[in-house]
Amino acid sequence: MHKIIQNFVFYFRCKFPTEYIPTVAKYNGVSAQLQFLWIQKYYPDFGVRCYDEGYLGCSYPTDSIEIAEYETHPEDYGTLELIETAGFELSDDRISEILSGDKLNQEEIMYLREAIADADTDGWWGHHGFDIKLSDGKCFAYFLGMPGGQGGPEFEYVSNFDSRRAMLIHIRENFSNFVEM
Span 157-167, pLDDT tens digits: 999 999 989 99
Average pLDDT over residues 173-179: 78
Question: Both 84 and 167 in a single domain?
Answer: no
First to last CA, the chain: 43
Q: Which residues, in sequence order, are CB contacts of 122 under 8 Å at separation 6+?
A: 147, 149
Question: Both 175 and 137 in a single domain?
Answer: yes
Instruction: Give the DSSP H/E element, type plus range, for residue 115.
Output: helix 106-119
Question: Both 40 and 78 in a single domain?
Answer: no
Coil, helix or strand for 166?
helix
Span 13-32, pLDDT tens digits: 666 667 889 999 999 989 99
Question: Both 127 and 176 in a single domain?
Answer: yes
Span 30-77, pLDDT tens digits: 999 999 999 999 999 998 898 878 888 888 887 767 888 888 999 999
State which residues form the domain around 109. 64-119
Question: Both 39 and 78 in a single domain?
Answer: no
DSSP annotation of 162 reads S
Number of domains in the chain: 2
How far apart CA 153 and CA 146 sit, in angstroms, is 5
Provide the whole-model pTM: 0.75
Q: How far is CA 20 from the centre of its chain?
A: 29
Question: Both 53 and 130 in a single domain?
Answer: yes
